[in-house]
Structure 1
Amino acid sequence: MSAFQFRTVPHLIIEAGATAQLGPHIGHHFPFVRRALLVTDAGFLRTGLADAPLRSLRAAGIEVHVFSEVQADPAEAVVHAGVAMAQMFHVELIIGLGGGSSLDVAKLIAVLAPGRQELAQLYGIGKVHGQRLPLVQLPTTAGTGSEVSNIAIVTTGATTKLGVVAPQLYADLAILDASLTLGLPPAITATTGIDAMVHAIEAYTSRLHKNPLSDMLAKQALSLLSANLIPACNDGANLPARQAMLLGAMLAGQAFSNAPVAAVHALAYPIGGLFHVPHGLSNALVLPHVLRFNLSHAAPLYAELATLLQPGITGSDEARANVLIDAMQDMALATGIARTLREVGIAASDLDRLADEAMLQTRLLSNNPRAVTRHDARAIYAAAL
């Protein structure tokens, strides 16, 4: 066995309704905290689902300020505004409440609020120095796994994104409460769920850091997600399915934080950046085509994953690997999400630009089981068109 390291969030609470007791949970883990900043987006705030955790915090004697300027694909200006609010109110704790964008912004505010570094200094791997403010994460979608990951993605220009990767981005506490996800629209449930499955699949085949712990987490994640995606899409109030999806997404997040994702994400990022397609859908659009491209190098591993979706299947590694690919396509079809690039407004004339942008994702491409050239990237986009 090759040597490896594994890190994750030290405290996890997995319980439906747990956020209604957020104040006591914070008091138990951080008894010194009296001022907190809740980081979320205006749309989630309007649902009313933040009311119970806010009441619980205030009942526990914690002064809460709400930063609700987060948007999808958050820009640097959003992070700067959140840091300014945290500093203005001298908060002692950051709470992320929302999808991956809110959780990512919360991480960066926690790191930057002490004032020791600027955002531009953080991009890359291991560029964060010193301690951050205490950080609690509450996901409201079962997708990114950001609540347990050490990564934050920021939109740095009209179409470009950069990542911050550092151990300081692991939260102190993550709470998985499926009541926060009830009523999430089927399309968002589907795309975020498939995003989480991509995390599991890519972690299991990650070229550089695949390890026994990430493998175990990825397999359990894929089992939970594949079994509960359609039930959660069909009935937004199905609490057991919602809780299983949250757990699956978290396990996948733990897996890919230690065995990083690869070409699916590398090719998905330009789709989101250039055409403003949601991240989970961007992944879903290229997933089957990247998997087929990787078959020559990853078929045995894909075959192992296929048995989780269809126990008892037989045949060659390639035949079973194709079962995995077909199953992922069938799930996308069953949920009714877009399945081709044309459906999201991408034309053949856009493929060269997409391929050029994808090749800039060197951090991700280096993890892929098969090397990807620009010609390969363009061919994958063409197959997804």
Structure 2
Amino acid sequence: MDPFVFNTTHQIVFKPGASAMLGTLAGARLGRIVLLVTDRGIRKLGLCEPALESLKATGVEVAVFDAVEPDPSLSIVMSAVEFARQRGATGVIGMGGGSSLDVAKLVALLCGSNEDLNDAWGVGNARGPRLPLVLVPTTAGTGSEVTPVTIITVSGDEKRGVSSPILLPDMAILDADLTLGLPPFITAATGIDAMVHAIEAFASKNANNNPISKMLARYALRLLGANLRHAVDEGSDRSARGAMLLGSMLAGQAFANSPVAAVHALAYPIGGTFHIPHGLSNALVLPHVLRFNATVAAGSYAQIAADPFPDLAAIKDDSERCAAFIDRLAELAVDVGLPTKLRDVGIREEDLGGLARDAMKQTRLLVNNPRDVTEIDALSIYQAAW
């Protein structure tokens, strides 16, 4: 067995209604003045209010920064940092989707260490320390509450990331009640995103691919495959919502230690250039990347095929089971109401060359892919997806 390192969030609380107990669960570790990072949509829905009331009941002073936007910009991050510094924040809470959680991570880092963000970009460059940090996801997809990565748009369509175990929070709170009102489309897109995390983590060529990540990826796929359709169709089902939230978190733990690959590498330019939600961007290219990889990864895909789709266990040949697995993933996207072609989201055929060039910049992801991807390969995959 090859050596590996496995890092994850220090404490995970899985309980419906847990966000309304935030003061009791985390108030002491966050300190006297807490910054809550979220977006205006979450604030307007009132999802923050039980947490705010709980914190205030334990004597914690809370300041709310609710200006986070999808694909958050560097200016948003720095505004949040300045807001936190002005109020003397002693701890940070991120509540919302992946964007809010990513911003909260950087606020905790920059306010805790006063380091220059330009020195922190990349893998392992953040020095820390950071402020105490609690993350509360309101979607079941990104797994950001258990990953050491934050992605920010620095200028135009350019995205940069900070990756360091320092960014892993002190606590993640998984409260299924926060996801009960999630619209079907967002439920579907984020759910497929979580499945991609598990699939790519399991098959990753990264040297740190490890038995723990593989185990978590498989259990995540079982939960996600069994509950995604129901969560989309019956959004008020707390059991299905909880299973999706847990599956997303397990997939997050898996890919945080066995990183994702070409599906994400080809999805990022779609999101960055055309502002397509990240989960949908992944879904659009997923079957086509897996078919490309199947020449070398059929065995890996065959191993996990029956986890989300139990009936595929009856297929004994690896190549046939792999092909059926990919077809079922494509069918799942249709079943949950997602667009399946790049043309369906406004991408023109003449845009594909630029997407392929941009995808090749995602070297930190492409090195993990089971099969090497050239620019010509990327273009072919986009053409198949178009």
TM range (shorter): over 0.9
Amino acid in the other structure paired with 2:139: T
How many Å separate the matches in 2 of 1:24 and 1:300? Answer: 47
Cα distance per residue 1:339-359 (max 9 Å; x no partner): 000011001100110000000
How many Å separate the matches in 1 of 2:66 and 2:144? Answer: 18
How many Å separate the matches in 2 of 1:117 and 1:257? Answer: 24
Which ranges in structure 2 are unaligned for 5 or more consecutive residues? none
How many Å separate the matches in 2 of 1:48 and 1:130? Answer: 33
How many Å separate the matches in 2 of 1:142 and 1:196? Answer: 7
How many Å separate the matches in 1 of 2:237 and 2:327? Answer: 26
How many Å separate the matches in 1 of 2:68 and 2:173? Answer: 20
Partner residue in 2 for 1:157: 155
Query: C-alpha displacement at 1:160, in angstroms?
Result: 1.2
**Structure 1 stretches of 4+ moved >6 Å:** none
Partner residue in 1 for 2:24: 24
TM-score, normalised via structure 2 length: 0.98
Partner residue in 1 for 2:331: 330
Cα distance per residue 1:30-88 (max 9 Å; x no partner): 1x711100000001100011111111011110000000010000000000001001110
How many Å separate the matches in 2 of 1:160 and 1:122? Answer: 16
Q: Does 1:273 align with 2:272?
A: yes
How many Å separate the matches in 1 of 2:176 and 2:139? Answer: 9
Cα distance per residue 1:258-289 (max 9 Å; x no partner): 00000000000000000000000000000000
Q: Does 1:55 align with 2:56?
A: no
Query: C-alpha displacement at 1:115, in angstroms?
Result: 4.9
Query: C-alpha displacement at 1:183, in angstroms?
Result: 1.2
Give the conservation status (yes or no) of the 8 Å contact 2:204–2:369: yes
Amino acid in the other structure paired with 1:47: L
TM-score, normalised via structure 1 length: 0.98
1:102 to 100, 103, 114: 100
How many Å separate the matches in 2 of 1:307 and 1:228? Answer: 15
How many Å separate the matches in 2 of 1:57 and 1:328? Answer: 42
Q: After the TM superposition, which residues 228-307 of structure 1 pair with which residues of structure 2 at under 5 Å, given as runs? A: 228-307=227-306
How many Å separate the matches in 2 of 1:337 and 1:307? Answer: 22
- SS at structure 2 position matched to 1:190: helix
Give the conservation status (yes or no) of the 8 Å contact 2:8–2:253: yes
How many Å separate the matches in 2 of 1:27 and 1:39? Answer: 16
Q: What is the percent sequence identity of the aligned residues?
A: 54
Cα distance per residue 1:296-335 (max 9 Å; x no partner): 1110010011121224322321110112111211111111
Partner residue in 2 for 1:342: 343
Query: C-alpha displacement at 1:27, in angstroms?
Result: 3.3
Give the conservation status (yes or no) of the 8 Å contact 2:220–2:251: yes
Give the conservation status (yes or no) of the 8 Å contact 2:113–2:128: no
- SS at structure 2 position matched to 1:204: helix
Partner residue in 1 for 2:165: 167
- SS at structure 2 position matched to 1:382: helix
Partner residue in 2 for 1:4: 4
Give the conservation status (yes or no) of the 8 Å contact 2:112–2:128: no
How many Å separate the matches in 2 of 1:234 and 1:51? Answer: 27
- SS at structure 1 position matched to 2:88: coil
More deviation, 116-125/265-274: 116-125
How many Å separate the matches in 2 of 1:130 and 1:336? Answer: 43
- SS at structure 2 position matched to 1:207: coil
Query: C-alpha displacement at 1:151, in angstroms?
Result: 0.3
Give the conservation status (yes or no) of the 8 Å contact 2:39–2:67: yes
How many Å separate the matches in 2 of 1:350 and 1:292? Answer: 22
How many Å separate the matches in 1 of 2:6 and 2:249? Answer: 15
- SS at structure 2 position matched to 1:136: strand
Query: C-alpha displacement at 1:157, in angstroms?
Result: 1.5
Cα distance per residue 1:132-165 (max 9 Å; x no partner): 0000000000000000000000001111111110
Q: Does 1:202 align with 2:211?
A: no
Cα distance per residue 1:145-201 (max 9 Å; x no partner): 000000000001111111110011100000000111111000000000000000000
- SS at structure 2 position matched to 1:284: helix
Cα distance per residue 1:3-52 (max 9 Å; x no partner): 11101011010000011111111135x1x711100000001100011111
Amino acid in the other structure paired with 1:258: N
How many Å separate the matches in 2 of 1:63 and 1:132? Answer: 19
Which ranges in structure 1 are unaligned for 5 or more consecutive residues? none
1:124 to 119, 122, 139: 122
How many Å separate the matches in 2 of 1:4 and 1:26? Answer: 31
1:178 to 163, 176, 187: 176
Q: After the TM superposition, which residues 31-70 of structure 1 pair with which residues of structure 2 at under 5 Å, given as runs? A: 33-70=31-68
Cα distance per residue 1:80-106 (max 9 Å; x no partner): 001001110111110000000000000
How many Å separate the matches in 1 of 2:231 and 2:174? Answer: 16
Q: How many pairs does the alignment contain?
A: 383
How many Å separate the matches in 1 of 2:13 and 2:366? Answer: 34
Partner residue in 1 for 2:380: 379
How many Å separate the matches in 2 of 1:154 and 1:207? Answer: 25
Query: C-alpha displacement at 1:123, in angstroms?
Result: 1.2
- SS at structure 2 position matched to 1:249: helix
Amino acid in the other structure paired with 2:52: L
Partner residue in 2 for 1:310: 310
How many Å separate the matches in 1 of 2:300 and 2:306? Answer: 10
